[in-house]
Amino acid sequence: GSWVRLPALPGVPSPTLRFDGEVFRLKGTGELVRALMVLRLCAWPPLVTHSLEVLSWCRRLLGSRLSGAVLRASVYGQFVAGETAEEVQSSVRRLQALGLRPLLAVPTEEEPGTERGGEGWYEGNLSAMLSCVDLSSPPADPAAPSPALMQLKVTALTSTRLCKELTALLGAPGGTRELSPDSLAAIMESGQDPHISSLSSQQNQHLGASLRRFHRVAQHARARGVRLLVDAEYTSLNPALSLLVSALALRWNRPEEADRHGAAWVWDTYQAYLQDTPERLGRAAEAAERRGLAFGVKLVRGAYLEKERELARRAGTPDPTQPDYEATSRSYSRCLELMLGQVSRRGPQCRLMVASHNEQSVSQAARRMAELGIRPDGPVCFGQLLGMCDQVSLALGQAGYAVYKSIPYGPLDEVLPYLSRRAQENRAVLHGARRERQLLRRELWRRMTRRP
């Protein structure tokens, strides 16, 4: 199997990572069968492309109750933690027993070009986010592993229309004077509506309400000991998202908010498949260090490749993405080296999540951590999706690394559209799960033939 022997350093454990599926012995036979069946289905392109239509047809054919039972026993059961708090907590306990940690996600977002509802919709999402903080909150035991993390989607709390408007203003001459992270952080702190001259009164009110929602989630998360990982979204929204996240980070990542762990309360996500990511990440790391702020990063390859290229074609603008997978991998590797260097220099003030299903990227991170003297249970953690890449997640967890599984939860009807979008965005990952399916088949065959 694929493995990496880490060099021994004084005081730093050197576990051997093996991604050969041996860790599947930790899982029940029913879980292995379901995983093999679901991952095989997800590798069929027509099913992924037309997943919502297939689900609708399934409902008409089987009826609501029977189709729901089938989905819970298959796709929903594989990728979702459950619907109620009790089901979610039960899923989390099963993960923890395997040496893994939860990264809960409320499956709510607003797609560009859609308007989901007025302030009431965003306020409802705020309540869901606050509940997610409570579910993610670590136990009272001060020796419990930290940090506790959860995902935050900006477009669950503010409109894509406002984000596009802010992006346009930021690109205009002098647009950053009124729209700086410092000014928005001050507005956030005051709880008042802003008075941005380029925005209408209605837009100013919506921006004020949005900033209050972000502040409220961060305040509650800080009180409960939960770090917020802000998800990346479309490039067309990125300048606005960066502005909002920078304002949050200015307020909550400053030294006076730090606890004994020293980790940032607000982490941002960087997508290696965008051409400008290494430079943007470098500038952000330098700015955080210059201002004495804690810095947290989730590093991903990126999931909106096809849509980004299509949007660029329609707009007649340059393609913002890397030309191919190899170029994206080089960008990922470059960002990884940059961040591991930051972690090595700044210690617990700088945190990194290596969010990847790629065995080479995970091996590179583990090897460089050992070379730089970064402990497996230190300020670098790993992340994969629930229900996928368990040969990597479990191997890391058993070797003592901090590993998080991204876990959506909620009612079937709310989660399925979210899963459908994620499946389409992660088509390459799903199609590339061939090796995982092979390892699952091998473990099932071993059990059937009762081999040691």
C-alpha–C-alpha distance, residues 452 and 450, integer Å? 7
For residues 40 and 48, which has the higher predicted lDDT (pLDDT)?
40
Q: For residues 144 and 146, what is the distance between their CA atoms, to the nearest angstrom?
A: 6
Q: Give the range among 77-86, 111-120, 153-162, 380-389 with minimum mean pLDDT.
A: 111-120
Q: Per the domain annotation, does 372 fall within a domain?
A: no
Per-residue pLDDT at 48 exceeds 80: no
Residue 367, domain member (yes or no): no
pLDDT of residue 52: 62
State how far the Cα of 302 lies from the Cα of 355, in Å rounded to an integer. Answer: 10
Among the residue ranges 22-36, 76-90, 109-123, 362-376, the one predicted with the least confidence is 109-123
Q: For 179, list phi and psi in degrees, rounded to 5.
A: -110, 60
The more confident residue out of 265 and 7 is 265
Inside any domain, residue 27: no
Q: What percent of the chain has pLDDT over 90?
A: 54
Share the mean pLDDT of the chain: 86
For residue 141, pLDDT beyond 70? no
Position 259 in a domain:
yes
Contact between residue 430 and residue 43 where contact means Cβ atoms under 8 Å apart: yes
429: in domain: no
Between residues 386 and 321, the one the model is more confident about: 386
Closest by CA to 263, choosing from 290, 228, 230, is 228
Domain membership of residue 45 (yes or no) is no
Q: Name which of 178, 342, 168 is nearest 240 in CA terms.
A: 168
Average pLDDT over residues 125-152: 82
Confidence of residue 113 (pLDDT cuts 50, 70, 90): low
Extract the tokens encoding 352.
């990194």
Write the CA distances from 183 to 74, 382, 392, integer angstroms: 48, 34, 43
Angle at CA of residue 18, ends 9 and 444, nearest 5° = 160
DSSP state of 225: T
Per-residue confidence at 15, pLDDT binned at 50, 70, 90? Answer: low
Helix residue spans in 351-432 (DSSP H): 359-372, 390-398, 412-425, 427-431
Q: 240-279, pLDDT tens digit by residue? A: 999 999 999 999 999 999 888 888 999 999 999 899 999 9
User: By mean pLDDT, which of 74-88, 156-170, 309-323 is the weakest?
Assistant: 309-323
Does residue 408 have a cis bond before it (omega within 30 degrees)?
Answer: no
Structural domain contains residue 214: yes
Where in the sequence is the domain holding 289, given as residue range(s)?
122-136+145-171+178-355
Number of domains within the chain: 1
Query: Is residue 132 situated within a structural domain?
Result: yes
